Each structure stands twice: as structure tokens, then as C-alpha cells.
Amino acid sequence: MMIFEHIHTFYFLGIGGIGMSALARYFAAKGYNVLGYDRTESPLTKDLEEEGIAVQYDDSLDFVKGLDKERTIVVRTPAVPEDAPVYVWLREQNFTIKKRAEVLGMVTRSARALCVAGTHGKTTTSTMLAHILHRSHVGANAFLGGIANNYHTNLLLDARSDLVVVEADEFDRSFHHLLPYISVITSMDADHLDIYGTEDAYRESFAQYAGLVKQALVVKATLYQCLVDAVQPQCRVYTYAVGEKADFYADNIVVKDGAIYFDFHTPSGVMSNVKLGVPAWVNIENSVAAMAVAYLMGTHDDELRDGVESFAGVYRRFNVHIHMPQLAYVDDYAHHPEELRASIGSVKRLYPDRYMIGVFQPHLYSRTRDLADGFAEVLSELDEVVLLPIYPARELPIQGVTSEWLLEIVKIEKGKRKTLVKKEELIGYLQGRVDDLINAGKACVVVTMGAGDIDRLVNDITQTLIYEKNV
């Protein structure tokens, strides 16, 4: 940590973000003075306050006027607007201000960084990798992009190890600040086109990132040709896949009693009958990628098996909240068409022949506009589509881009349903629909999807459906 030897304080603008809070916890654990700003109180900011990290929720300058400019680093996220009074004042006073990715990149340069990049799957894959290593003799620290259900935190510290697991975020080309020792690239489906402009530019950013990897790059087999020429000469490229041969792959997949089992193949042999801790179909692919990196770091076979089986998942990554004969409820962070496709497909495999109600809260006006056809196509696979209003996050409205507009282009077959529901009316709507279906003798599954604030409803949905039906 010599790069921060003259620093006393870290002030986080947007401290309630999942990535920001992990960094805040890290520097607090290292003995620095840590405080920050966020617009709204959340369970995560409350946790930070309980851990001794001061958080301000208003535009008062009292928190920052006493800071020593020469001994403070301000860490910011684009989620905080440029005109936020605290941010404006810090700029005017010429504080050292760095993006979260820059600071994280500085941390990775003092360790061997195991990074996971990709449009989809990076949070689950990186968290599973961290869990496998943390439970093994190898050990690992980790900055996670979600709350690990095994540890109820997004930060793992391990004094035994110089390894650090990092989720490599492509938004705003943030992952170009990292220095990966080994990296996974899971996917490169177009996203963040408000930043990149074109799909080609988006994919080129991944090629540039691949060129930063020092030791080994583990890529989904379908991406090999796109990336192999971008890596450094000393960097070894490995492929992974599901259902087809690669350097690392899974086959002989069996779904039994709500659980998923598979055989894991490595360059040196095969591990039979590995059980997934979280039985989502997409997690087969995620686990192969995580196990591949853990294998390359010297994790033993029994440690690999134990790590995958004991992995409890990530908060809001395919969390099964109700699993009963007549009713199931799954919540997932899916917010891109391909993520929705994976989530819906996993639900259908786990609960075949059940009537499926899918609740989706679109995230960002620009993403909804750019990927509307993809959203409409995948939502049409549901028996019942329920759309919430678009969650704007950092954006202002775009004329004509609304959930009503998206719902219009969702094509449904005869007998299926689609509707728009306000967030405050959702629980009552689901309560009524589940009641109607079960009374009609139809087993059903509800899945909520989205990256906005739909998560605030998950506990209430769970309790309402369990209480009302007692099934």
C-alpha cells in the first residue's frame, strides 16, 4: 500500500454503490479514515454506518470542509451528478479526485489480480471464484460486484494470500485501469451503447482489455477467435464451454429434484457428478469459468467440488425465495435481453409446465431504446408479462421511450397476458393473480427481474405470497 502512504482519508462520492462500498470497506479495514456521500439511505449504507463509516445524505459541506486536501483522495462514481454541490465544492477546492476504477486499478498493481469481465455473468463468476479460493488452501481477497450470500458482504480479506478477485466492469471503459494477472471474459453482447456508440466499439474495448492480461486469459470458447490475437505473447489463452469440448468444459448435465449435476473436464482429467450450489442453468457456465481459474491457481479437486457445492450465490442473482409444490418465486438482477433469456430459461428448466409470471423493471431509457427488440423477443417467452415503469438511474427521460411503448412491441400468443403495473401496486397484483391461478388448479412460478429498485419489494413479495397461500 505504499502508493497511499501519505493518505489519511478516503471520501467516497456515491458510497452506497456496490463497488464503491467494497472499496470503502477495504480502506477502512486497512486503517484509513473513510467517509462518504450518497443521495439515499439504503440497507448497504446502514451497514457501512454500523461498521463505523460516516455517511452523509444531504448537500451539506460540513463533512468535507474539515478534510486535509493534501492527505485525502476523493473517489467518485458516475452515478453522482456533476452538479452535486459536494462534488462541485471538492472540484473547486482542487481535491485529488479519482474514479473508482482508477483506485481499484492501483490496488490491483500491488497484488495478483484475478479479474472477471463480460456483459453477463461476471458478478456470479467472480463471487464463486472468490468463494472457492477463500475456502481452499490457496486463499484470496476479493472486491465483489454483489453481496455474497455465504459471507453477507462484498469484500473478502485473506492475510494468507496475495491474490485479489475483482469484477472488471466495462462501463465507461473502467476495466482498462486494471492490471489482470489472470482474467475471464464471459461474454461481449452489446451494452452501454450510450457510452460506446456502436457494438464494434464495445467489442474493441474488450480486445484492449484482453491485451492487459499478463499470465492467462480464460474465455468462452465462442469468443476465442475474437480475442486470441489481442493478448500479449506471454499470455496463455484457455477456452471454456458447456456441452462441447474445450480446455475446460461441462457435460453429462443432470437435473434431479431441483438440483443440477455435471461432469467438469480439465486439461488433466475429469471430475464427475459436481453439484451446483445454486441450481440456475446459467451457473453451469459460470462455475466452469470459476473452476478453471481456481484450477490454474492450484486448487485441489476436492476443494473445487466443495467450493461449487457450498456456494450459496449472490444477492439478487437467481435467488429462489419460495420453492413449493404449487408456487415458486425467483428474483434475479437480469437487465439485458440475454440475461433475461438465461434467467427465464433456467426457471423453465427448474419448473417445467408451470405458469410463469415474469415481472420486469427496465433499467435506463437508453438501454431500453437500444435493445427494445431484444427485450420484446425474450419477454414474449413468458406466459404473463408484467412491466414496471423504467428505472432511470443516472438518465433523464428520452421522448417516446417508456414501458408502455415497450409493452406494445411485446408479441404474445393467444391465452397469454401482458400488462403494465405501478411499483406500488405490484404486490397486490401478484397476490391476486397467484390466488386465481392456484384456485384454478395451476401451479405457477413468479420471477422478478431488473437492476433498479425492484429489489426493495422482494421481501414483501415473498412474505405476502407465503402468508396468503400457505402452500
Alpha carbon 63 to chain centroid, angstroms: 31
In the structure, what pLDDT confidence band is assigned to residue 53 with cuts at 50, 70 and 90?
Answer: very high
Residue 189 pLDDT > 80, yes or no? no
Per residue in 384-413, pLDDT (tens digit) is: 999 999 999 878 899 999 999 999 999 988
Which residues are 419's β-sheet partners?
A: 386
Pick 40 or 135 by higher pLDDT.
135
Closest CA to 126 of 289, 364, 298, 319: 289
Which residue type, as a one-letter code, is found at position 252? N
Neighbours of 257 (CB within 10 A): 5
Topology of domain 109-310, CATH: UDP-N-acetylmuramoyl-L-alanine:D-glutamate ligase (3.40.1190)
Closest CA to 37 of 84, 94, 70, 103: 84
Global pTM?
A: 0.80
CA distances from 210 to 54, 293, 295 (A): 38, 15, 20
Per residue in 430-445, pLDDT (tens digit) is: 999 999 999 999 999 9
Residue 309 pLDDT > 70, yes or no? yes
In the structure, what pLDDT confidence band is assigned to residue 256 with cuts at 50, 70 and 90?
Answer: confident
- What is the pLDDT, as a whole number, of residue 108? 83
Per residue in 446-464, pLDDT (tens digit) is: 999 998 999 989 999 999 9
User: Can you tell me whether residue 163 is helix, strand or coil?
Assistant: strand
Residue 364 pLDDT > 90, yes or no? yes
Q: Most confidently modeled of 68-72, 200-204, 278-282, 323-327? A: 68-72
In the structure, what pLDDT confidence band is assigned to residue 231 with cuts at 50, 70 and 90?
Answer: very high
- List CB contacts of 428: < 8 A, sequence separation 6 or more: none
- 20: cell is 464503491
Minimum mean pLDDT range among 233-237, 241-245, 464-468: 464-468
Residue 469 pLDDT > 60, yes or no? no
In the structure, what pLDDT confidence band is assigned to residue 267 with cuts at 50, 70 and 90?
Answer: very high
Please report, in angstroms and rounded to a whole number, the separation of the first and last CA atoms in the chain: 54
In the structure, what pLDDT confidence band is assigned to residue 110 with cuts at 50, 70 and 90?
Answer: confident
Residue 190 pLDDT > 70, yes or no? no
Q: What would you report as the CA-atom Rg of the chain, rounded to the nearest whole angstrom?
A: 22
- What is the pLDDT, as a whole number, of residue 471? 46
Where exactly are the structural domains of the chain? 7-99, 109-310, 319-469
Homologous superfamily of 319-469 in CATH?
A: Mur ligase, C-terminal domain (3.90.190.20)
Residue 142 pLDDT > 80, yes or no? yes
CATH 3.40.50.720 for domain 7-99, yes or no, is yes
User: What is the β-pairing status of strands 153-156 and 355-360?
Assistant: unpaired
Alpha carbons 66 and 84: distance in angstroms, whole number: 19
- Fill in the DSSP letter of residue 3: G
> Average model confidence (pLDDT) for the chain?
92
Residue 35 pLDDT > 60, yes or no? yes
The mean per-residue pLDDT over the stretch 264-291 comes to: 94
Phi, psi of 323 (to 5 degrees): -140, 90
In the structure, what pLDDT confidence band is assigned to residue 370 with cuts at 50, 70 and 90?
Answer: very high
Q: Most confidently modeled of 106-110, 118-122, 128-132, 253-257? A: 128-132
- What is the pLDDT, as a whole number, of residue 42? 86
Q: Which helix (H) or strand (E) holds 106?
A: helix 100-108
User: What is the β-pairing status of strands 319-323 and 327-332?
Assistant: antiparallel
- List CB contacts of 15: < 8 A, sequence separation 6 or more: 21, 24, 35, 36, 37, 38, 45, 48, 53, 55
Pick 196 or 469 by higher pLDDT.
196
Closest CA to 466 of 440, 441, 442, 438: 438
- List CB contacts of 195: < 8 A, sequence separation 6 or more: 171, 172, 173
Per residue in 4-34, pLDDT (tens digit) is: 889 999 999 999 988 899 999 999 998 999 9
